[in-house]
Amino acid sequence: MKTALITGITGQDGSWLAELLLAKGYAVHGTVRRTSTPGDSRLLPFLDRLVLHPADMTDAGSLRDAVAACRPDEVYNLAAQSHVGTSWAMPAYTTDVAGLGAVRLLDAVRAEAPSARVYQASTCEIFGTSPAPQSEATPLAPRNPYAVGKAAAYHAVRNHRDAYGLFAVNGILFNHESERRGERFVTRKITRAVGRIVAGTQGSLALGNLEARRDWGHAEDYVEAMWRMLQLDAPEDLVVATGVSHSVQDFVEAAFAAAGLDWREHVTTDPALVRPIDIPELVGDASRARERIGWSPRVGFDALVRRMVDHDVRLARLERDCGEAPVPRR
């Protein structure tokens, strides 16, 4: 039985990845903070099959203890303050967690489990304003504090690989969403609002920049790519994306239409929600991932929107009728 350690196991991707690795027969360990809520709906259906360790990406000793406690074969570094908008309000903390946090974890692995394979949750945000479509050859041009931290982590992974022979890879993932997405990311903010408007518990939805274009896939497909990258014969960095971009307004229109609503009757724009710099378009060329790990997305844009809207309409009705949503069962 292989052992995996997931930092950020309580997040969207952490929950999908933990589920995938359990199904593959792994012993799955994860790190949690004092303020984490592992008992919420994302992990609860399989919480009793996980081993959790207290650790914070800002605390090197706790990361080293977590690695030493489980001696993993595979380490997935998914922990980050991952909200780009928030990174403008908390630049030092965000850069510390996303950037130095990865350095601390790499050092912990080198000290305690040097033969472990390490997956780093990199992001298309490191390409910033470099022209689309972005691929492994695109120059890095990070344009927000989150992306600056992630760019530092990207280089640290490559340095540990080349200097110490660590099997460490950057999965350069484009946006991926799901019914488990945090509620402050734009897709889930939209589908939660659609659900509540259908249930009659919300009237309108305020958004920022509707023109930004993103390459949106489903998170369940993307954690499969993470795992496949750690099964490569030799480590390499790969872009993972659908190759298709839509605007925020496209997502709004599709989500409201999926519930039989006209978005123009409910959506307003608020300049306070527009970021100091917003990347106009991120869309990936994942042809190398297709070639190297045989990966391509199974869930397209329309199915993604439909799945999230259906889930959130059901959720909003349950919240309205029960006071709170019942715990989901497997």
Member of 8, 142, 235, 297 binding ligand NAP (CB under 6 A): 8
Mark residues 3-42: x for contact with ligand G4F by CB under 6 A, - for none.
----------------------------------------
Residues 30-69 that bind ligand NAP (CB under 6 A): 33, 35-36, 56-58
Select from 125, 32, 120 the least CA-distant residue to 78: 120
**242 in contact with ligand G4F (CB under 6 A):** no
Select from 4, 41, 39 the least CA-distant residue to 182: 41
**132 in contact with ligand G4F (CB under 6 A):** no
> Which DSSP string corresponds to 53-72?
EE--TT-HHHHHHHHHHH--
Residues 75-114 that bind ligand NAP (CB under 6 A): 78-82, 97
125 is catalytic: yes
Select from 168, 147, 32 the least CA-distant residue to 82: 147
Q: How far is Cα 95 from Cα 80, in angstroms, rounded to an integer?
A: 9
**82 in contact with ligand G4F (CB under 6 A):** yes
Amino acid symbol at 235: P
Report the Cα 51 to chain-centroid distance in Å. 21
**What is the residue whose two structure tokens read 């460490």?**
168
Nearer to ligand G4F, 36 or 175 (CB): 175
Member of 123, 135, 170, 245 binding ligand G4F (CB under 6 A): 123
Give the number of other CB atoms < 10 A from CB of residue 201.
Answer: 12
Q: 114: Cβ–Cβ under 8 A, 6 or more apart, which residues? A: 164, 166
The structure tokens listed for 85 are 């908008």
**148 in contact with ligand G4F (CB under 6 A):** no
**191 in contact with ligand NAP (CB under 6 A):** no
The structure tokens listed for 253 are 């229109």
Strand pairing class (3-7; 74-77):
parallel
177 is catalytic: no
Report the Cα 284 to chain-centroid distance in Å. 16
**279 in contact with ligand NAP (CB under 6 A):** no
Nearer to ligand G4F, 73 or 278 (CB): 278
**247 in contact with ligand NAP (CB under 6 A):** no
Nearer to ligand G4F, 69 or 247 (CB): 247
Member of 2, 33, 52, 85 binding ligand G4F (CB under 6 A): 85
Q: How far is Cα 67 from Cα 70, in angstroms, rounded to an integer?
A: 6
Q: 182: Cβ–Cβ under 8 A, 6 or more apart, which residues? A: 11, 12, 82, 83, 188
- Catalytic residue chosen out of the listed positions 76, 146, 154, 222: 146
**12 in contact with ligand NAP (CB under 6 A):** yes
123 is catalytic: yes
- Catalytic residue chosen out of the listed positions 19, 125, 177, 253: 125
Residues 122-181 that bind ligand NAP (CB under 6 A): 123, 173, 175-176
**254 in contact with ligand G4F (CB under 6 A):** no
Select from 180, 208, 204 the least CA-distant residue to 193: 204
Mark residues 278-297: x for contact with ligand G4F by CB under 6 A, - for none.
x---x---------------
Select from 208, 13, 18, 30 the least CA-distant residue to 123: 13
**Which residues of this chain interact with ligand NAP, rule CB under 6 A?**
7-8, 10-14, 33, 35-36, 56-58, 78-82, 97, 121, 123, 173, 175-176, 182
Residues noted as catalytic: 123, 125, 146
